[in-house]
Chain A
Amino acid sequence: MTRFTSARLPGYAGLAAAGLMAGLASGRVELIALAAPFALAAVAGAALARGPALRVRFALDRERALEGDEALATVTVHAETPVDRLEVLLPLPPELAAEHDPRAVSVAAGEPRELEFRVRCERWGAFALGPLLFRARDLLGFHSWEGSAGEPLPLRVYPSVETLRTLLPPLETQVFVGNQVSRAVGDGIEFADVREWHPGDRVRRINWRASARRGELWVNEQHPERNTDVVLFLDTFAEVRVGGRGTHDLAVRAATSLAHRYLQRKDRVGLVSFGGFLSWLLPTSGTLQLYKIVDSLLQTDIVMSYAARGVDVLPPRTLPPKALVLALTPLLDQRSAGALLDLRARGFDLVVVEVSPVEFVKPAADAMSDLSFRVWRLSREAVRARYEQAGVPVVTWREGQPLNVPLEEVTAFRRFARPVRG
């Protein structure tokens, strides 16, 4: 522990000394009387200067929490000598908050004292709580002893998941069994068509009604249920942030919801965080993959970079053939637009969900700001037009709007606009 002495104590001692000397020199007892309380305070301060013997432990009741949850941090203090005032501070990042932090308590000798901090997880992220800072003070606040306790404890706050009623089906499915009805014909449940019987066809597949009408054997064909590969493409080149809200937060929340829902459907989901800092996860299915994706999303951040990146930097297995690439982008950086158009040119089934930054921008009242705001919006329209020209559905997702709305828009777009196969 590091000891500090208040500037008051030497000040009081100095005042006492000056008063006594002046009294002695001038022979005025009033100056001695004036100095007496300060002399007494200085003596009391010197008497109180005994460092406390403290043992402080710090623990957290969980390592994972959801946005809006509360985690309980417990501080146990054991003092061998009484501590008149112990100030405890749990340093928290802005995304977390705790009531009564810092707080001051008194600790009796030999009696362990437990302090509970209810930490509210206000925003997702990967955090390290601690070490805890504490300061013991004497009764009059003349001396203080500062120290820290505990190692940093990890706390991962996962973004809240939005309920998605429907998901975007990919144009093509993979070969493994899943929950997505394939467009191909094979063994399955959903009826696809009827065809003439061929040797080797099962008897149970014969459509007796059609056979009776045509006078020869016809069999039913079904659509098989297959899984799909979905790659969540997160544009982390730039964001618009106002206060505690920003486009990156929305994109992470959307990516978590989509990953959760697609993995529930037994699809394989991968992640590409494309920006100043590049990271990826190969598409896999299962609950473990969900945790991997969310953990990876928690660590994504907007990193300023001038590096010109293309999709060539990604390992080929990151983007499997026939995968649905769901891009979540604020359409702020030309490099991500270039990479996505490159993906489209390579034949990927690409959908762009524009996480709208427009709502976060409030132009000033003057004409020049208004003009620049309009020019900016026009330039965004131009980027959207580039995607649409390439046959890529671009939908806008605004803050406060359910994620289902843009996904339904994509479904509607696909109903009318068929992709051109090269």
Chain B
Amino acid sequence: MLVYAGVLAYALWRSRGLGGLVATLGGIGALLLVVVLWKSWTELLSWSLATLGGAYAATLFVNTARVDEGAPLLGAGLLLCGELAALSLEGRWRIHAEVGVLRGRLLALAVLLLAGLAAAAAVVAAAGAGAGRGLAWTTLGAAAVVAVVGTAVALLRRAERA
């Protein structure tokens, strides 16, 4: 919840006249997160993160002047929020875990977050360099999006089968 509040505070700080909208969306997301943690409804977790991400996205349209360099941190923060919520839900099963198991999970999470942060920072840095403009880059970007969407759909189908 603290990480979520931090991300929401950052979005509010950048809202500039859209404070009401950002606060409303962030509040709905926070409410969803509370429901997730209270009722163990993990299905709502991504909706909670999406709502907060949407609130942040809204601020981008009033801050059109320059690229927000805090975006990678925000993305990593959202991912951290989701993973901590998942860890909190798993902790309720009262499974006595070995120290090594817990350490391994936290280490993997840290690596994932750092890698995600690095990837996001690379994206922002690449955008700042301005090297990739033109039809070819747009096509490549569109292909990447299609690939990711395809992966998402495949994962969704697999989850439904399971």
Contacts and interface: CB of A to CB of B under 8 A. Distances in A.
A85 B105 contact: yes
A84 B102 CA distance: 10
A282 to B, nearest CB: 49
Contacts of A13: 148, 151-152, 155-156
Interface in A1-16: 2-16
A358 B148 CA distance: 70
B49 A15 contact: yes
A139 B26 CA distance: 30
B104 A106 contact: yes
A13 to B, nearest CB: 3
Contacts of B75: 33-38
Nearest to A8: B86
Interface in B145-161: 145, 148-149, 151-152, 155-156, 158-159
B124 A33 contact: yes
Contacts, number: 190
B50 A10 contact: no
A289 B74 CA distance: 75
Contacts of B43: 7, 11
Given A7-B45, A16-B152, A29 B101 contact: no
A297 B137 CA distance: 80
B137 to A, nearest CB: 11
Given A5-B159, A14-B152, A29 B67 contact: yes
Given A5-B162, A12-B46, A30-B67, A40 B115 contact: yes
A373 B57 CA distance: 69
Contacts of A37: 72, 75-76, 78-79, 112-113, 115-117, 119-120
A208 B68 CA distance: 124
B123 A33 contact: yes
A153 B147 CA distance: 51
List of 7 A-B pairs having minimum Cβ-Cβ separation, nearest first? A11-B46, A37-B116, A13-B152, A29-B127, A30-B71, A104-B97, A33-B71
8 contacts: A2-B162, A8-B42, A38-B116, A84-B105, A87-B95, A101-B96, A103-B95, A106-B98
